[in-house]
Amino acid sequence: MNTNKKTVIKIGLVSILLLITYFIFMNTYHLFFLKSTFAYEHTNFLKRIIPFICAVIVFLIGKDSLNKKDATFLKIAYLTILIAEISFTLNKTILGIVFFGLCQIFLIMRHSAGISNSVKENKKFFLLLGIVIITIVFILIATIFYPALGMGTLFYSIIIYGTILGISLWIGISNYYIGHFPKKNALFIMIGMIFFFIGDFLVGIEIITEDIYIKNILNLFLWIFYTPAVTLLALSGYNYSANSKI
């Protein structure tokens, strides 16, 4: 990777750190000290710059990616993230969920490389992991989202997305033990997907919460998880073994 690209990526990573730090400080100060929800609207645009910076990083990695196929999946995934973010900004919740679902599908396709043989060799571990994740998703939907939403378009959307997200989490964690990706990249993928799952769970609760003060607190915590998720997944596309560190 040439020096100019490295510099831009470093600036991007520093910008992400500064944005999330400012976001956390502003929201914490207003929520817990001033008992105000002012920061929610004030930082709404700023925080959404973070996924755009991550998308730029994904595209800048270019030829320094693990391989062309992996880079393509990651680029498409981040384009769908951007469309989803725009949809949520415009209060198009269902559309946002649809595009985040597409994002997870492309991440599943990316992270599942080489999984078929590994599952055969470690059936018990992968089966147990799958059961645990399915159970968690089912409990969350049955105890939190169904009582709040009942049967409706939003609830069905959450069921479908929750299922896809659960599969994506299972694949993301399994990926670390498969050995198809370099260990550092696989670690970034696993941590990124765990944080993505937690962040999206908090998004779901925020959507069904009517109390604006509670919504603000949930929004604060979801971005604390979502920011490292999209950052680590973006960085997981870089070929660290063939190139110098960023």
**Cα–Cα distance between 111 and 118 in angstroms, integer?**
13
169, part of any domain: yes
Distance, in Å, from the CA atom of 196 to the CA atom of 228, rounded to the nearest integer, reads 9
Q: Quick one: pLDDT at residue 120? A: 67
Residue 243 falls inside a structural domain: no
What is the extent of the structural domain holding 213?
3-235
pLDDT surpasses 90 at 152: no
pLDDT given for residue 213 in this prediction: 86
**Token output for 22:** 């400012």
| Contact assessment for residue 20 and residue 227, using Cβ atoms and an 8 Å cutoff | yes
Domain-located, residue 241:
no
Cα–Cα distances in angstroms (integers) from residue 154 to residues 88, 94, 146, 204, in the given order: 14, 7, 10, 10
Distance of CA 99 to the CA centre of its chain: 12
What is the token pair recorded at 232?
């680590």
Question: How many structural domains are present in the chain?
Answer: 1
Q: Cβ(94)–Cβ(208) under 8 Å?
A: no
Phi and psi at residue 112, in whole multiples of 5°? -85, 0
Point out the least confidently predicted range of 103-107, 114-118, 149-153, 171-175: 114-118
In percent, the amount of the chain with pLDDT more than 90 equals 65
Q: For residue 98, what are the contacts with CB-CB under 8 A and spacing of at least 6?
A: 84, 157
Q: For residue 242, is it within any domain?
A: no
181 and 193 Cβ atoms separated by less than 8 Å: no
The verdict on residue 240 lying in a domain is no
**Residue 141 in this model has a pLDDT that exceeds 90:** yes
Residue with tokens 């559309």: 95
Per-residue pLDDT tens over the stretch 19-77: 999 999 988 888 887 777 666 666 778 888 999 999 999 999 988 999 999 999 999 99
Mean pLDDT of 104-122: 82
223 SS3 class: helix
Q: Is residue 196 part of a domain?
A: yes
Structural domain includes residue 62: yes
Does some domain include residue 80?
A: yes
Quick one: pLDDT at residue 40?
Answer: 66
Query: How high does pLDDT run on average in the chain?
Result: 90
Q: What is the number of residues in the chain?
A: 246
